[in-house]
């Protein structure tokens, strides 16, 4: 019995030693080998720019009136009468309500030169009308000033829909980018490939000018319309062979 007990103790000691040795070994992490690769295709990146000139087909007329009185209420009341007169004249020219809006309305005090005492109150209103017959905008301006009572007026020009002009300029800009890329490819001794990517960097519309005048407008005002430029810039990435 004593011999058996001793044998069991020896076996138990061996097992414990095996556990201790196993727990003291460093962990080994085995992973599968992975390979990553990225291929950057060769290409030519160029920019192109083009502009097209178009005659404006829309005039934006800004016409305003103002009043001054001893009280704010009196200034507003007087301004209301002048506004009704101007609105009536503008609508009589054929401007529909959808093409007529208020750009600004203001009422405030007028101070003495020292800046402390209020001497009066001033009220002003600015209207904006869309005028589609640009060749007759001078006559419209005369009517707003001479018969509508406008005391300050300005005119700017634009396009009713600039998308068609932008599309035309964009096609020319891409052609310009291709021409530049072809020249670069020829100089480098490579063949120009297909288009990989096209980016629109923006479009700009340059109006001919802005006309501004006070109340003293000539009896027959002439406002030349001229041409406006629609500019588009693109960036094109070409593959090479």
Would you tell me the crossing angle of helices 72-92 and 137-146 to the nearest 10 degrees? 140
Nearest residue to 169 via CA among 48, 31, 47: 48
- Write the DSSP symbol of residue 57: -
Q: Tokens 């003495």 — which residue?
A: 112
What's residue 198's pLDDT?
93
What's residue 166's pLDDT?
94
Distance CA 238, CA 241 (A): 10
What's residue 41's pLDDT?
63
Q: Where are the domains of the chain?
A: 43-53+163-205+232-240, 56-160+209-227
Could you write out the DSSP letters of every residue in 35-56? --------EEEEEEEEEEEE--
Q: Which fold has domain 56-160+209-227?
A: Alpha-Beta Plaits (3.30.70)
**60-to-91, 103, 141, 147, 183 alpha-carbon distances in Å:** 15, 12, 11, 19, 44
Distance CA 119, CA 146 (A): 29
Strand partners, 233: 49, 202
What's residue 210's pLDDT?
64
- Please list the rounded mean pLDDT of every run of 10 residues in the chain (241 residues): 39 36 32 38 90 95 96 97 97 96 96 90 97 94 94 93 93 96 94 93 76 59 89 95 77
Q: Which fold has domain 43-53+163-205+232-240?
A: Translation Initiation Factor IF3 (3.30.110)
Distance CA 46, CA 173 (A): 11
Q: Tokens 């923006």 — which residue?
A: 202
What's residue 205's pLDDT?
79
């Amino acid at each position: 019995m004593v011999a058996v007990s001793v044998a069991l103790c020896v076996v138990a000691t061996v097992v414990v030693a095996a556990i201790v040795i196993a727990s003291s070994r460093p962990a080994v992490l085995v992973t599968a080998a992975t390979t990553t690769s990225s291929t950057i295709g060769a290409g030519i990146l160029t920019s192109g720019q083009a502009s097209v000139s178009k005659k404006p087909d829309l005039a934006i007329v800004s016409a305003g009136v103002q009043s001054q009185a001893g009280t704010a209420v009196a200034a507003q009341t007087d301004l209301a009468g002048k506004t009704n007169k101007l609105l009536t004249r503008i609508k009589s020219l054929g401007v529909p309500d959808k093409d007529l809006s208020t750009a600004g309305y203001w009422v405030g005090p007028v101070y003495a030169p020292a800046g402390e005492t209020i001497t009066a109150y001033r009220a002003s209103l600015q209207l904006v009308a869309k005028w589609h017959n640009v060749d007759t905008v001078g006559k419209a301006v005369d009517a707003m000033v001479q018969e509508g009572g406008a005391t300050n007026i300005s005119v700017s020009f634009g396009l009713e829909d600039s998308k068609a002009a932008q599309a035309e300029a964009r096609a020319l800009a891409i052609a310009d980018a291709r021409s530049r890329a072809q020249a670069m490819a020829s100089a480098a001794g490579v063949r120009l490939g297909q288009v990989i990517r096209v980016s629109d960097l923006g479009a700009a519309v340059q109006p001919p000018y802005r006309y501004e005048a006070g109340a003293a407008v000539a009896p027959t005002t002439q406002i030349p319309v001229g041409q406006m430029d629609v500019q588009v810039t693109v960036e094109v990435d070409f593959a090479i062979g």
